[in-house]
Structure 1
C-alpha cells in the first residue's frame, strides 16, 4: 500500500486542467517517485514514444491524466477531455459517431468509408469504431492525449493526434475497490474492482461498473423524460510472467448500453414561407410559393426565428399526398390531408420552446450499443537490451438507435376518405384510413405526419503489431515494427415517414391482398402486378426486413485492409542534444460496395424502368460494382531537442501525417432515361498534413512551477469535410492551414495549494481558390436565379432562371401543372414530361410554356447552384481560444484530508460549417465544475461531492444541416445539465 505522503502527492497531481502535461504511454507507465521537496509539482513517467520517459523529457505536446486526475476534475468519459486539453473540441455527430478535434482538425467526414483524424486507442491498439467516448471510464491507469501528427508509431489515422486509454492491469499484490454514487436525475452509479495474485507468476483483475439515471430532456408531447442512461461495463484481465524474460497479459472488455439516449438535441428552423412574388407573376398561389421555399431559411441559430418549424408545404411528399390522393365517384379530388391548415403545411402554427432541454417529439428515442475488445500482449527479452513486443486485438461493435426524425410534432393531417377512388379509377379500400388514422407498417397508426430515423452499424476489426525496441546504454536506440489492420463495417441509415408508405400504397399498388400488409390490401411487387409498383415492407421496426421502397435506406458496406512498416531512431548527438528520425510506409486498400437507395422507386411488371418513378426494381436493394481504392504513403517525423539545463527542454519537429480517402455513398438508383442527376464525385481523396512545431518544457523554483509552451504550423492538403447532398454524406476535400500556440502551467507554492491552467490559441484558414456549394444559399445572392424544389423522387433543390419561373407562373397553364413544370427546371427532373403526338420522344413540361432550357448545360454547376468562395474561411469546430483554470486546496482535519477544487473552462466562438456565415456561427461558451473530496488515508476511504455544469448552461456546441428534402432543418447539440452527486469509495 502506498504511503500517505505518496497518496497526497498523487491526489495533488489531480489538478491539471491547464497543464496536466502528463503524457501518454502504454500500460506500463507509472507515477515517478515523489520529489524530495513536498512542494514540487512532481513527475510522471509516460511512454508517448512507446518507451518509459519522464513527461518533461518527451519532445511531443502531450497531456495525460491518471484516475485521480480524472476523478478530481469529474472527467468521466472521453467527451469531457476537452475541458483539460488546449485546442481541443468535441461533439457528437448526427449519426453514430463523434468529432474529437485537436488543433482544428477532426472528423468532419461522416460517411462509412471515412476514417477518424484522431486515432482512438485502447491500450495502444487503434479502434476505428469504439465506444470510448460514450462509456464511462473504468479502472483506468491513465488517459493520454497526444497533439499533432503521430503516424510514425501510432498509425495511419493520427493526422490530428492520439487519444489513448490505458487500463490498469493485474499486479502481484491483492487489492480491491468498491464505489457507490447517487445524484440528481435519479442517478445511480457503481464500480468495483478486485486484483487477485494466483501464485508468483499469475494474477487476474476483474472490474465492473454500471450507471443508471433518468433522462436529461423532457418530451413535452409524450410527457416523458428522455435522454437517460442505462449502461454497464466489465473488464477481465490476466497477467502471466513465467520467467524474467517473458511477460503476457490478456484483456477482455465488454460494454453494453440499452436506454433512451438521444443522438441529437433540438431541431431548429427559421421558417421559409417562399417568395411573395416573382417579378410580375400573377395568380401566385400558395402551392407554387411553397415550391419555391427551402423549408428553412439561413439565419443565426440564436435568432428567435430559428425556434420555428419548416414550411411543410415545401416537402414534395406532402404535396403529392394532399393533391389527387383520391377522387369521388364524380371525379372530384378528395385530398388525403386536411388542406385547411395553411395550404397543406402540416406544421402551420406549430412552435417550439426555447428551452434546449424541452423537445416535443412523437417518438421517444431508443439507443442500444454493444462493444467487445479482446487484446493479447506479449513481451520477450531477446537480450538484455532488445525486447520483442506483440500486440493482437480483436473488437466487435454493434449499434442501433432510433429517434424522431422531425424534432417537433405536426398537426392532424389525415381525413376519412371512405368511398374514394385512386387516379386509375380503382376504389380505395376503407381500411386505408379509418376515422382519419393511417396505419404505417413500421410507424403504427397516427392521424399526424410522423417520421422516425434508424441508425445502425455493425463493425469488426482485427489488429496485429510486432515491434522490436532497444535499450542500449550508448548514444543510439531504436524502435521498429510492422502492423496489419483488417476492418469491416456495414452502416445502415433509415428514414421512415408515414406519407412515404401512404404514397406507395395509394399510387402504385394494386388493390388485392398482399401478405402481412396492415394498411391497404395490396399485392406484392412481382410479375402479378398490373402497373408500376413500389414495394411496401410489411415488417415491423423491430424485425425489419429492410427490402421496402416505402422508406429511405442508405446501406454502406466497406472493407479496409492496411499494413505498415515503421521505425524510429534516437541519437544522442551530445549530452545536451538528441535527434529523432522516424519513417513509416503505409499501404491502404478500401473496398466499398455501393447499394443505391430506393425511396419511392418502383418498376413495371415486366421489370422495365418505372414510367413515373424512374425506378428499375420494385423490391430490395441491389449492389453496384465494388469501388476498389488503394493508396500508399510515406510519413514520418524529424525532431531535434536540446536540454540547456537539467530542468529545461527545447525542441523543434517536422512531421507528416496521412489519412486515407474513400468512396462517397451511392445516390438513388434512378434510371437516367427518366431522371438525369446532377453530377457528384464518386470518391474523395486522402488527406495529408505537413506539421512544424517548436516547444519548450520547463520547471522552475525547485519544481514548484511547471511551464510548457508549444507553437505549431500545419499545411493541410485535401482536408475531408462532409455535407448532405442528394440524401448522402458527400465528402469534399479542401486545402487548409492551421497555426497556434499552447501554454500549460502548474503552480504549487505550498504542498496543500495548487493551480493549474491551459490556454490554446488557434487560427485556421481554408486555402485560396477553394469553393463549395452552400445548400442553404444556392444562389449566392444572384437575383437572376431562384431556388426551386424538384420532383418527389429527386433529393436536392436546384437553381433555375428567375425569368423562366416567372413565365411559368404567369401562364394560364400554371393552375393545371405549373408546379410540375417548376420541378422540371431542375436538372434532376428534366426528363419529366409527356409524350409528343408521335410517341417517339418526351417533351419536358416547361416546353409548353414557350421557352427552351437545358439545366444540364445552362445552369451553374448543372443546376446545383453557385459556388461559394471559401478562401480564408475558418475550419469548422476550430475555436480561436480555449482556456481552463483549476485550483485546489487541501485542509487537514485529524485523520481526514479535505480537498476543495474548482475548474472553469471557456471556449470562444467557432463555426460548424466551412461557409462561415451567420447561420454557421457557434457562440462561445463556458463551463464550471466544483468538487469537495474527503479522504481518510488510514482507512482508504474517500467521500466526494461534486457539481458539474455549475451554472446549468445549455450552449449550442455543434450543429448539423439536414438534407434539402428534409427542408434544411438543423440538428443541434448541447451540454449535459447541472449534475449534482455524492460518492463513497473504499479500497482494500
Structure 2
C-alpha cells in the first residue's frame, strides 16, 4: 500500500512537470525581454544556483523579505509552502515543516526544525527570536537534515544568511510607523576599516503600545520592547584565508500575549472553582479580545548573546578547511497568563538559562568528477529550566484542608553531542550526479529534576500527608522549599536523576538528472533523527520524568525544477512520503494518586505524504507573480492509545491526524512596478494572500480543539528611486481583520486559544547611503 502511495505521489510530480512544459509551448515569446533573477544558495555548504540543488529549498532574498514584511519566523508562513509556526503556552516558538514539528515547552527540548545563522546553530527555539536582522537571504531546507548541517533534525533546517561586510562604504536607515503606535527602526553601516579588515554593524528595535483589549475592564496588553544588534568583522589577509567574527545579541522586554477563554473543559456541578471563573465570558471571534489577571506584570526580560568565529582557509586549489566556533547564552525571565480570564486561577512563570558551545571542523575538496566533504562536530549544552505554576488559594483545594497556591518545576540538563559526517557528489555523466552522505551522532544527556514546594510548606504538607497514606517505608519527607516528587517505589521524595545515552546514523542518497539546461529532476532517500529529551513539568512521581527517546524519519522525495526562459517562468514541484518512527509528543500517564498526569511519549508508527508546488512568473516587464501550494496528509499507524486532554478512559488515536498540520497551505504574491511621471522614480503595488485549511490543537478529534481555516490578505503601495536609494511604502497586513487561531489547548479547567494579529497598517521608509 505504501509503495502504491509513493508511486502516486511521484506521478503527481510528473503531471505538474508536463503541465509546465505545455504552458511553455503555448505562451513562449510573450516575455522575451524579461528574465528571472538567479538565486545562489549555500544549502550544501557551497555556493550553488538553487536550480542545480537536488532538494526542496525555499529561498527568500533581501527584496522579498522587505516587500513581504518578514520581521520574524512567524512571517515565513506567508512565503514558505509547508511551513507552520505556533507558540507553546510558555511563549516558546515551535517550527514545523511538512507536518514535522515538536510542540514541547521544556527549555531543553531539541527542535524538529533546526535554526542557523550563517551555519552556526541556534540549538534551542528560545534562542531564535532575533535571527532576522540585516539578512542577505533565508534558506529553508525541507526533509531530514544532518549530513551537512551541525545538528540532526527530522523536519528540516532554516539557515539565515547575514549580509556580509562590504569593501566599500555603505549605510542604510529603515523606519516604520504602524497601528498601535508601533515604531520599528533599524539600519546598518558597513565598509573597510583597514586594507584587510572590513566591518558591518547592524541594529534594530521594535517599540509599540498594547494591542490586546480586556473584555471585562478598561485594560490593555501586548506592548513590545525589543532590541537586536550584530557586529561582523571580516579579516582577509590573503585571497585564500578569511576570518569572520560575529558578535550578536538581543533583549526582549515585551509583554506576553494573553490567551482567549474558549469555555470550560470540566463539569460544573461540585467543582470548587469560584463562580466568577465558572461564569467568565467566552471571548468573541476578535483577535484583540482577551482577559488576564488584573495587576499582574506579564512582561518578559529575556536576553541572548552569541560570539561566533568562522575561519575559511583554501589549503590548496582543490581543498578548503572551515572551522566554526561559537558560544551562546540565553537568560529567560517571563510571566504568562494561562487561563484567559480575569480570575487568578492559573499563571505560569518561566525562568532559566541555556549556555551552548559549538565547534565544527570540516574539509571540502574537488576532483574532476567528485565534490566531497568530511567533518566533525562537538556541542556542549547546559540548561537550567525553572517553571512557576501560580494558582489562587481559594481555587486550589486538593485533599481536605490542604491547599497549595504555587509550585515550581525544576529541570537541569547537561548535554554533550559529538558527530562525524561526510558527503559527496559524484558526476556519473555530464547530466547525472549521485549524492551520498552520512552522519554518526552520539549524545549524552544527564538530567536532574523535580517539582518543588514554593517555600511556604503548603505543597510539602500535602505530600507528607500522602506519604503516610500510601507507604510505611519512606525515609525522606518533603520540607518547605524542597522537592515533593516521589522518586522511588517507597515514595521517598527528592531530586530525580537519570541519564539518556543515544547514538544514530543518519544518511542521504540522491540522484540529480539535468535533463536539459533548464530542467532538473531529482530523487532522494534520507533518514534523519531528532534527539530525545527529559521534560520540565509538574510531576508527583518520577515516572512522569522519564525521557522521550529519539525519533527517526525515513523520507522519500522526488521533484523537479524547471525554468522557461522564453516566458520568464520557474516551476518547482515535489512529492514526498515520510515513514515516521517514535514521533515525540507530550501525552499523559496514569498516576496512582492523582490520576492522569502529563509525560513525554513516543508514537511508535505514523506517516506523512504530500505534494508541493511553486510558480514564479514575470509575464511582462514590471509584473511578478509568486504562487506556492502544499498539500499533506498525516496519519498515526499501528495501534497507539493514550488519554484525551479532557480526561476519561484511554482513546485509540490510530488513524488520527497530527495536530497543527493543515492539509492545505497556499500563498500567492503579485507585485507590479512601473516608472512614474516623475524622473527616476518607480511606483509599485503588491498584494499577498495566505491560506491555511483547518487543523486542530491535539491528537484527539475533539471539536473544542478545532482550528478553523483562514485566509489573510496583505497590501502594499509605494514609491522607490530607480537607483534604489530610497523607498516609501504604505502597507496593510491582514487588511480584512480576519479572525484566526494559531494555537488551542486545554488549560487547567478551561480551553484557551492564542490568536493571530488583527489588521495592522502603517508606512515604512528606507534610505541607502
Question: If the length of structure 2 is used for normalisation, what is the TM-score?
Answer: 0.88
Q: CA deviation at 1:259?
A: 2.5
Instruction: Say whether residues 1:602 and 2:460 are aligned partners.
Output: yes
Q: CA deviation at 1:612?
A: 7.5
Tell me the alpha carbon deviations over residues 421-471 of structure 1, each in whole angstroms, 9 at most, x when there is no partner: xxxxxxxxxxxxxxxxxxxxxxxxxxxx56532122311111110010013
Q: 1:975 to 1:108 in 2, by over 3 A?
A: same
| Residue of structure 2 equivalent to 1:229 | 224
In the alignment, the residues of structure 1 paired with residue 229 and residue 340 of structure 2 have an alpha-carbon distance, to the nearest angstrom, of 35
| Residue of structure 2 equivalent to 1:812 | none
Q: CA deviation at 1:130?
A: 4.7
For the 8 Å contact 2:100–2:112, the answer to whether it is kept is yes
Q: 1:650 to 1:115 in 2, by over 3 A?
A: same
For the 8 Å contact 1:597–1:621, the answer to whether it is kept is yes
Alignment of 1:46-445 (within 5 A): 46-130=41-125, 134-135=129-130, 137-221=132-216, 223-262=218-257, 264-270=258-264, 272-274=266-268, 289-290=269-270, 314-315=271-272, 345-354=275-284, 355-361=286-292, 362=294, 363-410=296-343
In the alignment, the residues of structure 2 paired with residue 611 and residue 661 of structure 1 have an alpha-carbon distance, to the nearest angstrom, of 35
For the 8 Å contact 1:598–1:668, the answer to whether it is kept is no
| Residue of structure 1 equivalent to 2:360 | 465
Instruction: Say whether residues 1:732 and 2:601 are aligned partners.
Output: yes
In the alignment, the residues of structure 2 paired with residue 272 and residue 773 of structure 1 have an alpha-carbon distance, to the nearest angstrom, of 15
Q: Which runs of 5+ in 2 are unaligned?
A: 1-16, 18-30, 484-493
In the alignment, the residues of structure 2 paired with residue 180 and residue 716 of structure 1 have an alpha-carbon distance, to the nearest angstrom, of 45
Select which of 896, 899, 903 maps to 2:688.
Answer: 903
Instruction: Report which of the two has the higher share of strand.
Output: 2
| Residue of structure 1 equivalent to 2:7 | none
Instruction: Say whether residues 1:477 and 2:335 are aligned partners.
Output: no
Classify the secondary structure of the residue corresponding to 1:259. coil
Instruction: Tell which deviates more after alignment, 698-707 or 36-45.
Output: 36-45
Q: 1:465 to 1:604 in 2, by over 3 A?
A: closer
For the 8 Å contact 1:268–1:972, the answer to whether it is kept is yes
Tell me the alpha carbon deviations over residues 709-733 of structure 1, each in whole angstroms, 9 at most, x when there is no partner: 0000000000011146679652111
Instruction: Say whether residues 1:868 and 2:763 are aligned partners.
Output: no
Larger Rg computed on CA atoms: 1
Instruction: Say whether residues 1:562 and 2:417 are aligned partners.
Output: yes
For the 8 Å contact 2:310–2:324, the answer to whether it is kept is yes
Q: 1:900 to 1:220 in 2, by over 3 A?
A: same
Q: 1:942 to 1:613 in 2, by over 3 A?
A: farther
Select which of 721, 737, 745 maps to 1:952.
Answer: 737
In the alignment, the residues of structure 1 paired with residue 80 and residue 546 of structure 2 have an alpha-carbon distance, to the nearest angstrom, of 37
| Residue of structure 2 equivalent to 1:511 | none
Instruction: Tell which deviates more after alignment, 757-766 or 721-730.
Output: 721-730
In the alignment, the residues of structure 2 paired with residue 395 and residue 495 of structure 1 have an alpha-carbon distance, to the nearest angstrom, of 28
In the alignment, the residues of structure 1 paired with residue 674 and residue 92 of structure 2 have an alpha-carbon distance, to the nearest angstrom, of 43
Alignment of 1:795-806 (within 5 A): none
Instruction: Tell which deviates more after alignment, 617-626 or 706-715.
Output: 617-626
Instruction: Say whether residues 1:931 and 2:716 are aligned partners.
Output: yes
Q: 1:617 to 1:406 in 2, by over 3 A?
A: same
Q: CA deviation at 1:153?
A: 0.9
Count of residue pairs the alignment pairs up: 712
For the 8 Å contact 1:386–1:471, the answer to whether it is kept is yes
For the 8 Å contact 1:487–1:560, the answer to whether it is kept is yes
For the 8 Å contact 1:609–1:617, the answer to whether it is kept is no
For the 8 Å contact 2:411–2:535, the answer to whether it is kept is no
In the alignment, the residues of structure 2 paired with residue 132 and residue 141 of structure 1 have an alpha-carbon distance, to the nearest angstrom, of 20
In the alignment, the residues of structure 2 paired with residue 750 and residue 948 of structure 1 have an alpha-carbon distance, to the nearest angstrom, of 27
Instruction: Tell which deviates more after alignment, 615-624 or 577-586.
Output: 615-624
Classify the secondary structure of the residue corresponding to 2:147. helix
Q: CA deviation at 1:196?
A: 2.7
Select which of 477, 496, 517 maps to 1:616.
Answer: 477
For the 8 Å contact 1:130–1:371, the answer to whether it is kept is no
Q: CA deviation at 1:619?
A: 1.5
For the 8 Å contact 2:95–2:113, the answer to whether it is kept is yes
Q: CA deviation at 1:171?
A: 1.6
| Residue of structure 2 equivalent to 1:707 | 571
Tell me the alpha carbon deviations over residues 278-331 of structure 1, each in whole angstroms, 9 at most, x when there is no partner: xxxxxxxxxxx42xxxxxxxxxxxxxxxxxxxxxxx24xx5xxxxxxxxxxxxx
Q: Which runs of 5+ in 1 are unaligned?
A: 1-18, 20-35, 275-288, 291-313, 319-343, 411-448, 509-533, 535-548, 671-676, 779-865
RMSD between superposed Cα atoms in Å: 2.7
Q: CA deviation at 1:119?
A: 0.4
Q: 1:489 to 1:271 in 2, by over 3 A?
A: closer
In the alignment, the residues of structure 1 paired with residue 700 and residue 151 of structure 2 have an alpha-carbon distance, to the nearest angstrom, of 29
For the 8 Å contact 1:130–1:397, the answer to whether it is kept is no
For the 8 Å contact 1:178–1:191, the answer to whether it is kept is yes
Q: CA deviation at 1:149?
A: 0.7
Q: 1:127 to 1:701 in 2, by over 3 A?
A: closer
Q: CA deviation at 1:604?
A: 11
Tell me the alpha carbon deviations over residues 29-49 of structure 1, each in whole angstroms, 9 at most, x when there is no partner: xxxxxxx97511121111111
Classify the secondary structure of the residue corresponding to 1:904. strand
For the 8 Å contact 1:608–1:616, the answer to whether it is kept is no
Select which of 503, 510, 528 maps to 1:639.
Answer: 510
Select which of 869, 889, 907 maps to 2:672.
Answer: 889
Question: If the length of structure 1 is used for normalisation, what is the TM-score?
Answer: 0.69
In the alignment, the residues of structure 1 paired with residue 283 and residue 369 of structure 2 have an alpha-carbon distance, to the nearest angstrom, of 67
Alignment of 1:971-986 (within 5 A): 971-986=752-767
For the 8 Å contact 1:602–1:610, the answer to whether it is kept is no
Alignment of 1:644-793 (within 5 A): 644-665=515-536, 668=539, 682-702=546-566, 704-723=568-587, 729-734=598-603, 735-778=605-648
Classify the secondary structure of the residue corresponding to 1:79. helix
Q: CA deviation at 1:932?
A: 1.5
Q: 1:939 to 1:873 in 2, by over 3 A?
A: closer
| Residue of structure 1 equivalent to 2:751 | 970
| Residue of structure 2 equivalent to 1:920 | 705
For the 8 Å contact 2:145–2:154, the answer to whether it is kept is yes
In the alignment, the residues of structure 2 paired with residue 709 and residue 203 of structure 1 have an alpha-carbon distance, to the nearest angstrom, of 41
In the alignment, the residues of structure 1 paired with residue 151 and residue 382 of structure 2 have an alpha-carbon distance, to the nearest angstrom, of 16
Alignment of 1:551-590 (within 5 A): 551-590=406-445
For the 8 Å contact 1:698–1:706, the answer to whether it is kept is yes
For the 8 Å contact 1:196–1:204, the answer to whether it is kept is yes
For the 8 Å contact 2:140–2:158, the answer to whether it is kept is yes
Q: CA deviation at 1:577?
A: 0.5
| Residue of structure 2 equivalent to 1:493 | 387
Classify the secondary structure of the residue corresponding to 1:683. coil
| Residue of structure 2 equivalent to 1:328 | none
For the 8 Å contact 2:115–2:128, the answer to whether it is kept is no
For the 8 Å contact 1:156–1:658, the answer to whether it is kept is no
Q: 1:458 to 1:604 in 2, by over 3 A?
A: closer
Q: CA deviation at 1:398?
A: 1.3
In the alignment, the residues of structure 1 paired with residue 724 and residue 536 of structure 2 have an alpha-carbon distance, to the nearest angstrom, of 58
Classify the secondary structure of the residue corresponding to 1:919. helix
Classify the secondary structure of the residue corresponding to 1:982. strand
